[in-house]
Amino acid sequence: MNCVEIKVYGKVQGVGFRYRVKQKADEYGLTGYVMNSNDGGVNAFVCGDFEHIEQFIHFCELSPGESQVKEVSVHWVDPPQKPFQNFEIRLDV
């Protein structure tokens, strides 16, 4: 299993970005979470097969819906010791 931390910057809060990201993660069978960050961006932790994660990252870069993505930062990480069971939207920090 592959996992990645993604940070997305731009106009991504208050525009349905997290909901569209969750729909895409569910479509690809990915697990993890997405949440707003204090700096105005959105953070995601995503696990699944490499190809679907790559497609997910590309989807985020395309500014889905009303969002206006300016930058996407990607950091590949080790899977968590306790795997996620699904993909969820976490409450704002």
Q: What's the domain count of the chain? A: 1
User: Mean pLDDT of successive 10-residue segments in the chain (93 residues)?
Assistant: 96 95 97 96 97 97 90 96 95 65
Distance, in Å, from the CA atom of 25 to the CA atom of 30, rounded to the nearest integer, reads 5
Residue 44: half-sphere exposure toward Cβ, Cα within 13 Å: 30
Residue 60: half-sphere exposure toward Cβ, Cα within 13 Å: 29
User: In which domain, by residue range, is 44 found?
Assistant: 2-89
From 18, 20, 38, 90, the catalytic residue: 18
Q: How much is the pLDDT for 39?
A: 94
Q: How much is the pLDDT for 93?
A: 53
Q: How much is the pLDDT for 43?
A: 97
From 2, 20, 36, 43, the catalytic residue: 36
Quickly list H helices, the chain: 17-28, 50-61
Q: Is 20 one of the catalytic residues?
A: no
Domain CATH number, residue 39: 3.30.70.100
Q: Is 36 one of the catalytic residues?
A: yes
Token code pair at residue 61: 């870069």
